[in-house]
Amino acid sequence: MKTKKIPVRMCIACRQGKPKKELIRVVAAENGLTADETGKAHGRGAYICPDVECLDKAKKIKAFEKALEVPLDETAYNAIKRVILRRGLKQ
């Protein structure tokens, strides 16, 4: 039996390659950045580790502006942080 290939994506903050399901996809939509929990939302996306430290680093080095050409405002930052904290509680 063949083993199934696991898609690997890179975190925009720490630059580590991890399985796609372990990361959080952030999508550039018309209304700004949103966290895509399903992984199927339309739009250009970037991946980030489910870690608040990675989110803070991405904000500091302006990784979202470079990858998605959309600034990370405070409401999007808080929404992504809530998704990270919620995912941390599930594990």
Domain range summary for the chain, segments of one domain joined by +: 8-90
Cα 54-40-44 angle, rounded to 5 deg = 60
Single-letter amino acid code for the residue at 59: K
Q: Tell me: the pLDDT tens digits for 29-67?
A: 888 899 998 888 998 999 999 999 999 999 999 999 999
Q: Cα separation of 41 and 48, whole Å? A: 16
Q: Tell me: the pLDDT tens digits for 75-91?
A: 999 999 999 999 877 65
Decide: pTM greater than 0.75: yes
On whether the 8-90 domain is CATH 3.40.980.10, my answer is no
List Cβ neighbours of 21 (8 Å cut-off, separation of 6 or more): none
